[in-house]
Amino acid sequence: MCHIKSSEEEESDRSLTWKEESNISQREEPFDNAALVCPEHEVNQYDFHIVYSATYRVPVLYFRSYHGDGQLLPFDEIEKDLPGHSAKLRSESKWTFISHEEHPYLNRPWYKLHPCGTSDWMKLLFNGDSSLNKKDFVIEQYLVSWFSAIGLVVGLKMPLEMLDTVVSNNS
């Protein structure tokens, strides 16, 4: 709703505000607990999505972060949440950089670990692996290997259950 005030009403509001301020200065200012409460360590929330890129033919990690009140974090604040080794890893490697793009399904801006080098380093990882003959196993092993490498960049740890599943399927 929009309420348009005339210049006379605005002047009246200004003078009323000034009168209220002078009255407050003559008496004790009210104590507002809500204005004094400040969280010591605010926890930021993260959403992660793994989306297959038809262009690069690899999985891509999309993510976004926001404060407890729902306000999205800018990248400089997200960088503060990333593990210390992440900045070094991203600066030294041509394969791990973060870009800001539209999520392919949600049509909203999200960050992503750019997939341009993923195929190359995954080939290096699986070079000479005899388990590549088992198609079902390869998919599971590929995703677990990909996730264990990509997760390091953003501080995600792979649950041991994921690794146990791949190892037990290989036996």
The residues carrying an active-site annotation are 116
Spell 56-68 as b/e; 16+ CB within 10 A means b. Answer: eebbbbbbbbeee
Please tell me whether residue 155 adopts helix, strand or coil conformation: coil
The Cα 16–Cα 108 span in angstroms is 44
Residues 6+ apart with CB under 8 A from 126: 132, 141, 142, 145
Q: 11: exposed, middle or buried (C-beta count within 10 Å: 0-12, 13-18, 19+)?
A: exposed
The Cα 39–Cα 128 span in angstroms is 52
For residues 101 and 80, is the Cβ–Cβ distance under 8 A?
Answer: no
CA 50 to centroid of chain Cα atoms: 13
What tokens does 150 get? 């990509």
